[in-house]
Structure 1
Amino acid sequence: MSQDPTTHRLVRDRLDDVIGACEAIRRYVGDARLPEDLVHDAVRMRLVEIGEAVRVLPSTVTASEPDIPWSRVSDLGERLTRRYFDTTRAVVFGTAHTDVPHLAEAARRLRATRS
């Protein structure tokens, strides 16, 4: 029986996932040519991706960035997956504009400590 390849991904790979998703979100919300509903859907999917990546980061890693509410980041990914119907556009776009830049910076600092 083969093992799930996601269980063996390294912390640096997870941080790269977070950074990549944050960069994608920045591009999506910064491109005025894209329809708002398309941006909303794309941002939601990337927030789910971020939540999954963050969910498996060890607390020994995230503890060095205490200003980021890591459990809330993970919970948002879960909420967007399981309770998609009661997550407003304001939450999605507010998170994209306000929280994602800080998360990206924190993830970059954490990634810089990994070889």
Structure 2
Amino acid sequence: MAREFLHAIDDILDAIAGIEDATRGKNLADYRQQWLLRHAIQRAIEIISEASRAIPDEVKATQPTIPWRSVRAIGNVLRHEYQGLSDQIIWNVVVDELPKLKKAITHIRNKFDTTGPSK
């Protein structure tokens, strides 16, 4: 089972790392002013959302503090109702929620990967 979803785990970790790199030293004002930064972060969050769908429910259950339905739903909002999301909401996701998700996903990666330590 592990190999079937570990690619999604890696995609999530890669997207989070990209967001971390892109936002290092930046703040909400930077996010609001930089079109490319905004769209790169939004796309990475869409990838995280989509990849989360490939993680089996029993695996997600090992990390009950993560609001998995919200992780899944934000991608749809970004794709279909993007005008309804404020910059502040996305920035809060980056600052407050992604570190928690990274920790949970890293835990899942370490628990289910039988080939060695995670990134």
* TM-score in terms of structure 1 length: 0.85
**Unpaired runs of at least 5, structure 2:** 115-119
Residue of 51, 74, 79 corresponding to 2:77: 79
Deviation at 1:37, TM superposition (A): 2.3
The residue number in structure 2 matching 1:23 is 17
Distance 2:58 2:43 in 1: 27
Tell me which stretches of 4 or more aligned residues in structure 1 moved more than 3 Å: 31-35
Distance 1:95 1:36 in 2: 17
Distance 1:89 1:77 in 2: 15
Residue of 6, 12, 26 corresponding to 1:12: 6
* Cα pair 1:14 1:53 within 8 Å, conserved: yes
| Identity among equivalent pairs (%) | 24
* Cα pair 1:55 1:71 within 8 Å, conserved: no
**Unpaired runs of at least 5, structure 1:** 1-8
Distance 2:14 2:4 in 1: 15
* TM-score in terms of structure 2 length: 0.83
CA RMSD, Structure 1 to Structure 2 (Å): 1.8
